[in-house]
Amino acid sequence: MTPWRAPPGASRWCIGAVVAGCLGTIAAPPVAASETGPVCTDRPTRANAVCTVPAGRVQVEADAVSYTRDTGGGVTSETLAAAAVVLKRGIDARSDVELGWTAWQESEIDTGTRRARTGGIGDLVLRYKRRLTSGDAAIGVSAIPYVKLPSAPAGIGNERLEGGLILPVSLGLPGGVGLTLGPEIDLLAEADGSGTRINLTNLVNLSRSFGRLTLYAEYWTANDFAAEIDGDQSSADVAASWLFTPDFQVDAGANFGLDEQSPDYQVYLGVAKRF
């Protein structure tokens, strides 16, 4: 199957139309935090939570800043991103819609003899999350189909339409520990534009709350069935979040690559706010 490429100017039009539609939801009538519980987010780690944004509420989650570094074969690459924002709107008691976009990303590749730098906006990601189990179920499951629209310039994105399905699963363990699994299947474009390939991702995430503080430890893997490269990756991730109010959270984390294909490390600071 030939990957779809966005026509010139289509990315900017698409972003404007979708963002305008989503911003129109922010005027939703407020709901007391006591009626919905503390803010529940898909951050700070890679894991997605089973929970959704309460009906009528708007939630913003963002990496304020992130830095990624990778070295190998005499080449060093560094990426700095700012304002990687996800805007969410609760539709009903079990579902929400989500719009993700990075305001700025800059990458630099140093080969030792030549240095190249590329910067620009990120791709636009649209998601729909549907909780498949009741809120008090012993094992929670959600489905998150998503599509990535190519709004990033060449060098930052691949200018291809891609998508996939995520199925987060969560349950409680003894001692107040939470366990989240994150099986995911993605349909990605081949780098040479010849077609599409499958990427399979999974993770095991453990979390434990101590009052306002929550600590996370995670093991993440990805099996990319690319035609010409070994795309398998894995990382060990740690993070912490602090709940300032029932509607406002700050967090920080780091991901450490465990193989040659994964970035050496990534560090980030972020926030989440429910309105």
Angstrom distance (rounded) from CA 32 to CA 256: 39
For the cut 90, the answer to whether the pLDDT of residue 17 exceeds it is no
Burial class (CB in 10 A: 0-12, 13-18, 19+), 7: exposed
* Beta bridge mates, 229: none
In eight-state DSSP terms, residue 212 is: T
Among 135, 49, 134, smallest CA distance to 98 is for: 49
What is this structure's pTM? 0.86
In degrees rounded to 5, what are phi and psi of residue 11?
A: -60, -50
Angstrom distance (rounded) from CA 186 to CA 224: 9
Residue-wise pLDDT for 138-187, tens only, equals: 999 999 999 999 999 988 998 999 999 999 999 999 999 999 999 999 99
Residue-wise pLDDT for 213-260, tens only, equals: 999 999 999 998 876 666 789 999 999 999 999 999 999 999 999 999
For residues 55-78, average pLDDT: 96
For the chain, give every domain's residue range.
10-31+43-270
Tell me what the pLDDT averaged over the chain comes to. 89
Angstrom distance (rounded) from CA 83 to CA 87: 12
> Looking at domain 10-31+43-270, which CATH architecture does it have?
Beta Barrel (2.40)
Within 13 Å of residue 94, how many CA atoms lie on the same side as its CB? 11
The amino acid at residue 111 is T
* Beta bridge mates, 192: none
Angstrom distance (rounded) from CA 150 to CA 124: 7
pLDDT score, position 77: 96
Residue 194 banded pLDDT, cuts 50, 70, 90: confident
Angstrom distance (rounded) from CA 269 to CA 51: 22
